[in-house]
Amino acid sequence: MASRRNVRYSPLATDDDDVYGSPNDPRFDYTPKSFDKIPWKSIVLALFLLSLGSLLLFLSYFICTGHMGGELAQAYGLLALGVLTFLPEHALTGHKVAIKILNRRKIKNMEMEEKVRREIKILRLFMHPHIIRLYEVIETPSDIYVVMEYVKSGELFDYIVEKGRLQEDEARNFFQQIISGVEYCHRNMVVHRDLKPENLLLDSKCNVKIADFGLSNIMRDGHFLKTSCGSPNYAAPEVISGKLYAGPEVDVWSCGVILYALLCGTLPFDDENIPNLFKKIKGGIYTLPSHLSPGARDLIPRMLVVDPMKRMTIPEIRHHAWFQAHLPRYLAVPPPDTMQQAKKIDEEILQEVVKMGFDRNHLVESLRSRVQNEGTVAYYLLLDNRFRVSSGYLGAEFQETVDCGFNRMQQSETAASPVGHRLPGYMEYQGMGFKPQFPVERKWALGLQSRAHPREIMTEVLKALQELRVCWKKIGHYNMKCRWVFDNTGQNEGMMDNPVRGNHYFGDESSIIENDGAMKMPNVVKFEVQLFKTREEKYLLDLQRVQGPQFLFLDLCAAFLAQLRVL
């Protein structure tokens, strides 16, 4: 029998005494319980995984050389899905991270490419204490290596299954953290669309981390979503019905279902028969247990309203007395947006990273530009773990933002939606105080409001556009794309005398041929017209510039207002 030092670890090796878990080895059953047979020393483990075909040469180099501190401590995964997760320690900081390895071929075969791409794109933007942190992404021709925050305590779902219904204070603490993270997503124009306890992870101190943004989407002003996605038990009625929705309102519904599960230990809508389940959701058919407090009994039904126009919004949830009870200080003031966070650098942690051998100027520039490299990974690991162990979880981080939070109080905008659907207020944000006491909400008028019939409003809009020689294309019942070309030759004194050639609309806009044969770039303004319906049973007309000179667009808006007769 060959000695151990002469054995070659490869798929062709046949020495049963020396090959760990060979595919032909009947002693290894490839179940989670058999992981105790895996050799955990870095080099041996790398060779073992390489022999199974589960590890590339690139990753074996990754483990053996300690790139980003790859001292492998534990491994588990779903190899059939092309996903393998490692939990190494970062050598420079000593903190654990999770490395998810995604096989390109397998995720392509499962049509998960778009899901993975979207999740990475969104997580790269986010920096919030209750959203899972992405530190680095390493791409190779065959695999994608995603370095993420290590979350120790598993899913909130398992926590609820183990403990049953939670005490109200504990459930409220979880709910406050969830709403804080969801609000941050909405303020950054992202709607999650798959909120459920399985996608809410818990760290070592049982703080919530929102994860799995694969079904999330970017929100755009005046644009609406229709994709039916997410888990049926947590999906809003408008989602399972295939109706248009703005986004935030479906997350509010899901949060209401989660709150019910936290307080009751069961789901409000549950049935093995999917048609029956959908019937309950669309009808809002559920029962409230008698043990719920008056505050919870008031909050849950207002979040689980079938009509999205009447459903509670995130700012309204924040104002609710039940939510305000025992609200931690760091959650009283929402964190700054990603651009403000990038500008704020912790000097103490910066010095620690510089001592590791990184150039200070390059590190500062990388942090401000949100570039992911070994230096920024070390910085954010130190930053996250320092605040995790601080008293009052992350209180120190937000202590510095409190004063500026009062000076940056933002006002709500009127919540509106396309006719028949309300656009809940991801713009309806209100600054928060510590007591916590809230200033009186002020509503700012957005666009042009009218109580006239929608058909009458749109008729007048089309007449005005025709008078201004604006071309349009209908993209919805109350939504149009428009284009207007301004002739700056001085031949026309008024805007209404400006002709627009139809063949230029949505076609080649590179040039206009003048009378002398010269080519001249036109001043083109592209914009969208959208009619919304507000809570006050009014209709709101909004013009949004898409492309073109801003001042020229303002001139066009002024002329457009002069033409309208019903607003």
Whether the Cβ atoms of residue 430 and residue 412 lie closer than 8 Å to each other? yes
Helices of type H across 356-453: 360-368, 374-389, 395-407
Give the relative orientation of helices 550-563 and 454-467 as an angle to the nearest 10 degrees: 120
For residue 5, the number of C-alpha atoms closer than 13 Å in the C-beta half-sphere is 0
CA distances (Å), origin 126, targets 190, 293, 337, 374, 377: 10, 35, 9, 18, 14
Whether the Cβ atoms of residue 509 and residue 484 lie closer than 8 Å to each other? no
Q: Cα 270 to the chain's mean position, in Å?
A: 27
Question: How far is it, in rounded angstroms, from Cα 122 to Cα 218?
Answer: 9
Strands in 452-536 per DSSP E: 471-476, 479-486, 512-513, 519-520, 523-534
Angle among Cα 200, 72, 83 to the nearest 5 degrees reads: 50
**DSSP annotation of 474:** E
Catalytic residue among 25, 29, 143, 194: 194
Question: How far is it, in rounded angstroms, from Cα 303 to Cα 238?
Answer: 14
Whether 194 sits among the annotated catalytic residues: the reply is: yes
Residue closest to 128 by CA, chosen among 31, 3, 213, 43: 213
Question: How far is it, in rounded angstroms, from Cα 206 to Cα 153?
Answer: 7
Question: How far is it, in rounded angstroms, from Cα 396 to Cα 434?
Answer: 15
* Residues annotated catalytic, as ranges: 194
